[in-house]
């Protein structure tokens, strides 16, 4: 789904809304620089963003009055809480992903305070199909499926925005959805921090190995000046993620066995770890482990992560440790850094044995 197609849809939708209202109150708009920023604007200055997002739509609310008026409606429409903010540092413009045009249309009618006409028994696709055919004829473009999320063959694949969008499209897959909602709750409790999503290409709630690192880096942040991915992932565009990718491959660990997280789960714009951040992260860890019922082995990656050992020990989980795969360790203690892949391979073997024992209890 591209910006040209969504623009056609939004312009047609504005005409439809104004016809329903009997007066031209709704204006469509597209930014010249960021062409994905497509929206409807009403007489009160409230803005409803309708953006393309890899085979689906992002609907975002701009303006305090619009958020107050529409947030509960969007939760009912989508069946869930907002999935993030376009401006997370100031909790502005909450957004939701939706999969079909019928939901976009319903949200737009609510936004315009117009009466949604009945569909006369037509399905969502049937309602949308004539307009979609018009767009294809006008643009010569066919409806594209989301970008494939095949397993990457090399590191740093999330430097590609289309790869990021493909992962975003899978945040509600069954194996990852509970963790997506866990992250949403973290964002609600701590709105001044950014919390990355779990990578849908990893094991999610089906994982048996939890690799617990220290703190998200800037390339997990979509608001960073280099535009990070928004995920905690071995595929991020930074040296630590690249090393993690390589060590996992050397250790021959299937990524579907693994879930990655940090003892300090959020990014606050600073690499430095302030007093109290580790203790607060350890407290959050208990909540996370409730969503990982198959995890029997936890690998504490780096000195800061190893402060979680007392909590994990109480939960009767197998604990292993390794150095952190970041460039600071590589530069200061190469021998320690070189042992990481072997330590991770041993953790995978321990996890296999722990699972075997659990099945025979």
Structure confidence by residue, pLDDT tens digits, 46-101: 899 999 987 789 999 998 889 999 999 999 888 888 988 887 766 688 999 998 88
Structure confidence by residue, pLDDT tens digits, 217-267: 888 888 766 678 999 999 999 999 999 999 999 999 999 999 999 999 998
**pLDDT score recorded for residue 235:** 96
Partners of 39 in the beta sheet? 29, 49
Residue 102's nearest CA partner among 76, 123, 86 is 123
Same structural domain, 311 and 285: yes
- The pLDDT confidence band at residue 326, using thresholds 50, 70 and 90, is very high
Judged on CB neighbours under 10 Å (0-12, 13-18, 19+), 326 is buried
Lowest mean per-residue pLDDT among 141-145, 165-169, 311-315: 141-145
Same structural domain, 74 and 184: no
Residue 125 has pLDDT above 50, yes or no: no
Q: Is 75 within a domain?
A: yes
**Boundary residue ending a domain (80, 110, 139):** 139
Residue 178 has pLDDT above 90, yes or no: yes
Q: Is 347 within a domain?
A: yes
Same structural domain, 161 and 135: no
Q: Is 147 within a domain?
A: no
* Residue bearing the bigger pLDDT, 361 or 280: 280
Same structural domain, 247 and 134: no
- The pLDDT confidence band at residue 127, using thresholds 50, 70 and 90, is very low
Tokens describing residue 348: 């995978």
Range 167-196 average pLDDT: 91
Tokens describing residue 318: 């197998």
Same structural domain, 283 and 176: yes
Same structural domain, 131 and 162: no
Range of the domain at 39: 3-139
> How much is the mean pLDDT over the chain?
85
Range 160-172 average pLDDT: 91
Q: Is the pTM of this model over 0.85?
A: no
- Whole-angstrom CA distances from 356 to 45, 196, 289, 312, 343 are 61, 32, 20, 20, 20
**pLDDT score recorded for residue 106:** 93
Residue 143 has pLDDT above 70, yes or no: no
- Whole-angstrom CA distances from 147 to 55, 79, 150, 165 are 8, 25, 9, 8
Q: Is 255 within a domain?
A: yes
**pLDDT score recorded for residue 262:** 93
Same structural domain, 302 and 348: yes
Lowest mean per-residue pLDDT among 75-89, 124-138, 317-331, 334-348: 124-138
Which helix (H) or strand (E) segment is 232 a member of?
A: strand 231-232
Residue 274 has pLDDT above 80, yes or no: no
Q: Is 83 within a domain?
A: yes
Distance between start and end Cα atoms, the chain:
50
Q: Is 221 within a domain?
A: yes
| The total number of structural domains that make up the chain | 2
**pLDDT score recorded for residue 360:** 56
Q: Are 81 and 172 in contact (CB under 8 A)?
A: no
- The pLDDT confidence band at residue 148, using thresholds 50, 70 and 90, is very low
**Boundary residue ending a domain (91, 107, 139):** 139
Please, which residues have CB within 8 angstroms of residue 30's CB and are 6 or more apart in sequence?
A: 3, 7, 10, 37, 38, 39
Judged on CB neighbours under 10 Å (0-12, 13-18, 19+), 79 is exposed
CATH code for position 208: 3.40.470.10
**Boundary residue ending a domain (111, 139, 167):** 139
């Amino acid at each position: 789904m591209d910006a040209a197609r969504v623009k056609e849809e939004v312009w047609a939708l504005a005409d439809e809304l104004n016809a329903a209202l009997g007066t031209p109150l709704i204006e469509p708009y597209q930014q010249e620089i960021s062409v994905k920023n497509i929206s409807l604007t009403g007489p009160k200055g409230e803005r409803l963003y309708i953006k393309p997002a890899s085979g689906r739509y992002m609907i975002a609310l701009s303006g305090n009055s619009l958020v107050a008026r529409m947030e509960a409606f969007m939760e009912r429409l989508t069946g869930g809480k907002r999935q993030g903010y376009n401006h997370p540092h100031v909790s502005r413009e909450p957004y939701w992903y939706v999969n079909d045009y019928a939901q976009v249309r319903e949200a737009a009618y609510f936004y315009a305070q117009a009466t949604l006409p009945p569909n006369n028994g037509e399905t969502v696709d049937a309602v949308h199909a004539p307009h979609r055919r018009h767009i294809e004829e006008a643009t010569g473009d066919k409806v594209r499926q989301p970008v494939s999320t095949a397993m990457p063959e090399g590191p740093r694949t999330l430097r590609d925005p289309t790869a990021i969008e493909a992962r975003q499209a899978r945040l509600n897959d069954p194996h990852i959805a509970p963790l997506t909602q866990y992250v949403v709750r973290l964002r609600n409790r701590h709105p001044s921090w950014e919390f990355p999503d779990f990578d849908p290409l990893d094991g999610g709630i089906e994982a048996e190995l939890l690799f617990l690192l220290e703190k998200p880096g800037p390339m997990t942040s979509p608001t960073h000046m280099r535009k990070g991915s928004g995920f905690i992932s071995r595929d991020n565009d930074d040296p630590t993620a690249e090393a993690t990718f390589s060590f996992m491959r050397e250790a021959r660990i299937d990524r579907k066995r693994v879930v990655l997280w940090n003892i300090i789960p959020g990014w606050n714009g600073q690499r430095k770890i302030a007093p109290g951040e580790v203790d607060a992260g350890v407290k959050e860890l208990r909540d996370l482990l409730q969503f990982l019922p198959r995890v029997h082995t936890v690998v504490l990656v780096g000195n800061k992560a190893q402060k979680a050992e007392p909590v994990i020990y109480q939960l009767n989980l197998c604990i292993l440790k390794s150095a952190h795969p970041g460039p600071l360790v590589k530069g200061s203690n190469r021998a320690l850094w070189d042992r990481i892949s072997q330590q991770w391979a041993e953790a995978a073997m321990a996890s296999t044995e722990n699972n075997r024992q659990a099945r025979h209890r």
